Amino acid sequence: MVVPMDDRSLRSAEFLELVRRSRQGRLKVFLGPAAGVGKSYRMLQEAQALRRQGVDVVLGVIEAHGRPETEALVHGLPQVPLRRIEHRGVSLEELDVDAVIARAPEIVLVDEVAHTNAPGSHHRRRYEDVFEILRTGISVFCAFNVQHLESLNDVVARATGVDVRETVPDAFLRRADQIVNIDLPADDLLERLRLGKVYPPERVAWALEHFFVRDKLERLRELALREVAESIERSEGAPERSLERAAPSAVGTRLMLCLAMRSPRATALLRKASRLAGRLNAHWLVLHVRTGPERPDQVDAQSLRHFAHVQELARDLGAQWHDVVADDPVLGILELARAHGVTDIALGRSERPWYKQVLGLTVTQRLVRHGRGFDLHLLDSQDPSP
């Protein structure tokens, strides 16, 4: 369920109803275009409103960044003690998953879910902590910025010139029961920055020269609004979902992306396919067909490492991975597509020599001829929008 900015009490009541009639944890995401738009502030506002209604709401981890308005809303909400981890002589504080589960509140607030945990934590990333908490039946309020969404990594890098290294898989957002879009016009956010309401004074000049540029902020705002709009389309008419469902349904759209081991564009194609799957409201999978020359003992170590990274990224984006062996890649693609009820096949533009394209010998051209019954999507990894 995606909710608009107004009717705060209504959406809080709706989420509370979801929490109290479910045996599993529910997930509510506060999504915004950039730091300083008010995601944590709004999350704390709703938490305080629920506390006044007698709901057991606690703080798991909140990043107020020294903002007085945000810090004021923390008062009165119980804080589950953070876990201290010593790493290379430095004491770090992280969300204590065990302590949250032992405390067993109705709702816990977890900020900045794209965060990478300190070595020695339960999980490598904070969003994985959230999944563990949800499995115990505790509901979660959380917040993050749209640039941290994994499938938008390349788009954000092109739009802003910033390489975002900490990301959240799209599957995390798709499993949310409610998404609240925290929108703020770029000019208003820039004014907040200049007034010192986003970063400390010593960081303002740097921010204005780099990330906090009006055109970049408008692009991020557009991405956030589009993501919420697509989430609305996915959620309309959808039945209640299990946060742990993994098996695709027997009906509906199912997308398959075809990848080659040595493709230098594999990560860009994965992110674009993930966006396409979201727009189609489709379960999706990734297929690599191994031919003779691609046996593991005939591939160099660097290619194998790259391919392992591609597999990990595919799973982070919520795709099922399939690896089959076939002398003819087109036959392998079509055989697996039919076996798994695939409706749509996606692949990157051909990089084969011109004469093979003229002769109609590329995988794409052969799929067009032989892949009747499938919708084919030709993806350009250089295009910023899927």
Dist. CA 238–CA 255, nearest whole Å: 19
Asked whether residue 243 is assigned to any structural domain, the reply reads no
Angle between helices 301-316 and 266-280 (to 10 degrees): 20
Domain limit, last residue, from 235, 264, 282: 235
Same domain? For 16 and 155 the reply is yes
Dist. CA 47–CA 41, nearest whole Å: 10
Same domain? For 191 and 88 the reply is yes
Which helix (H) or strand (E) element contains residue 30? strand 27-32
Which two three-digit tokens encode residue 135? 């499995």
Q: What is the span of the domain harbouring residue 36?
A: 2-235
Same domain? For 220 and 305 the reply is no
Which two three-digit tokens encode residue 300? 């160099």
210 CA to centre of own chain: 24
Same domain? For 231 and 277 the reply is no
Asked whether residue 269 is assigned to any structural domain, the reply reads yes
CATH number at residue 347: 3.40.50.620
Same domain? For 125 and 36 the reply is yes
How many CA atoms lie less than 13 Å away from 31 in the CB half-sphere? 31
Q: The tokens 């692009």 sit on which residue? A: 219
Same domain? For 133 and 171 the reply is yes
User: How far is residue 84 from each of residues 80, 102, 126, measured CA to CA in Å?
Assistant: 12, 17, 15
Looking at the whole model, is its pTM more than 0.75? no
Asked whether residue 160 is assigned to any structural domain, the reply reads yes
Same domain? For 83 and 56 the reply is yes
What's the total number of domains in the chain?
A: 2
Cβ(298)–Cβ(331) below 8 Å: no
Same domain? For 132 and 48 the reply is yes
Strands 83-87 and 90-94 come out as antiparallel
What's the confidence (pLDDT) of residue 138?
96
The three-point CA angle 46-317-118 to 5° equals 65
Among 154, 132, 102, CA closest to 265: 154
Query: In a structure prediction context, what are the per-residue pLDDT tens digits for the chain, which is 386 residues long?
Result: 444 444 565 567 777 777 666 667 999 999 999 999 999 999 999 999 999 999 999 999 998 888 888 899 999 999 999 999 987 778 889 999 999 999 999 999 999 999 999 998 889 999 999 999 999 999 999 999 999 998 888 888 888 888 888 999 888 888 889 999 898 899 999 999 998 888 888 888 888 888 899 999 999 998 888 888 777 666 654 544 433 333 333 347 899 999 876 677 888 899 889 888 888 878 899 998 877 655 555 666 677 777 788 888 888 888 889 888 888 888 889 998 998 889 999 988 766 554 454 445 678 888 888 888 899 998 876 544 44
CATH number at residue 139: 3.40.50.300
